[in-house]
A and B are shown apart, each in its own frame.
Chain A
Amino acid sequence: MSEPKRVGLFVTCLVDLFRPSVGFAAVRLLEAAGCEVTVPSVQTCCGQPAYNSGDSADTRDIARGVVRAFRDFDYVVAPSGSCAGMIVKHYPELFRDDPAMAAEAEELAGRTHELVSFLTDVCGVTSVPGKYDGTVTYHDSCSGLRELKVKQQPRALLATVDGLDLRELPGAETCCGFGGTFCVKYADVSVEIVGRKSADIRASGADALLAGDMGCLLNMAGRLKREGSDIEVRHVAEVLAGMLNQPAIGDGQS
C-alpha cells in the first residue's frame, strides 16, 4: 500500500464550537479512506466573518495564521464548502498585493478541499461506513456548490448508504438565507428566506435534512424547530460516517 495521505483537518469554527460530532465524523470518513488525520491546534476560524464585513486587514492576519498552521500537509480538508471555498478562492485574492504571501496562499488553495468532494474526487471513495433507515433530502450550500462545484459528490456517496432514500429538495440550489453575518445584520430578511426554505424542506416529505455546511444547518434547523417540525437536521458527514448517536441539530436529549 502507498503512503497514507497526510490530511490536516480544518475543522471550522462552527463545527468546533457547535457540533464536534461532525469533526469526528469527518475523521472517521477520512481514516476509512486511508488518510492520516491531524488537527492542528493553532487553528481558529477561516476569517469569513471579517472578510464579508469588509475588514480585509484582520482577514489577512487570520489567513496568515491558517496558511502557517497548514503548511505541512499533503491536503487540507474542511467539512464545509464555505470555509474551504474561502481558502481556495479568496485567500489568493486577499494577498494580491503581497506576492510572497499570494504564492503561499495559492499553494495552500491547491491542496485544500471540501470534505465530501475530497473523499470522492481525490480519494476515490465509493462506499462509506454509514447506514441510515429513512428518507433524507439534501440542500446544496451556496459556497460549496458555486465556488467548489460540490453537487454530485454528496449524492453519489449518499446513494451508497444502506437503507437511505434520497429525495431531491425542490429549490435545492436556492440559498437558505444564512449568509454569515447577513443572518444577524438583516435578520428579518434572513428569516423570510429560511422560512421559504423550510416550506420546501417540509414539502419534500423527507424525515431528515442534510447539508455540508454548519452555518446553513444551524439556520435551517433553527427555523424548522421554531416551526415545531420534527424533521431531523444533520451534517451529511454524520450520515455518511454512520455517527448518529448525538441528537440531531437543534434536538434535545430525549
Chain B
Amino acid sequence: MSGRERILGNLKRSLGRDGLDVNAVAAVERRLASRNANLVPKRAARPHAEQVDLFIEKATALDITVARVGGLADVPGAISDYLAEHNLPSEIKMAPDPALDGVPWADRPMLKITRGRAEISDAVGVTPAFRAIAETGTLVTVSSADRPATLNFVPDDHVVVLNASQVIGTMEDMWAGLRADRGDGDMPRTVNMISGPSRTADIQLTLIKGAHGPRRLHIVLVDDGAA
C-alpha cells in the first residue's frame, strides 16, 4: 500500500467513514462550488472614490509611498521624480505587459527602460498591478507571460503603476475579479498580495525595512476616470 492510501485510510477511519460517504462528498462539492464569501468586514463597503482614499490611507500607513497622477501621460514624469528623489540611476526594468505600452515613455528619453524578468543587478522594477485592496492597503499582482513575479521581489525598489479603477474593497472582490477574468479554478501561477515594502523584526523586534525583498514600494496611482 502506498503512503497515500495509508494516510487516506487512516483519515477515513478516524472520521468513522467507511467507503464512499455521499453526504460528505456532497458537502465538499457544495462548499467548493459556492463562491460565497464568509463574514466580510464593513470597513471597505463604501463608494469607489472613498475606497481609493481608504486604499491610499492604508497603503501609506504601511510605508508605501503613493504619487497620484491625472493620467497615463504623467507616469514617466512621476517615475523620474521618484528615481531622482532617491538618487537612483535613471534605469528601470519593466514588465513586458501591454498595459504599460500606453504610457508615453518617449517623453522621458533619459529614462532607460529594459523589459523582462528581474536579474540580480536590476535596481528598480516597474510593474502593473492586478488590483489594489482598499481594506488593508494591499497590492495584488498576478504572474503571466507579461508579468514576471521576480520584478516584485528582486529589485531594491518596486514601482507599481496602478489605475484608480483597479482599487476594489476586499480580498473577496479581488477573487471575484480573478474568476471573472480567467474562469473558475484557473489560478495564475503566482498571485502576490503585497502589503508594504519587505521588512523584518527578527533582530530584537526592531522593525527594519528591506529584509530580502524591495526596500521601498512606490505606487503611481493613475486617475483613469473611474474614481
A and B touch in the complex (CB under 8 A): no
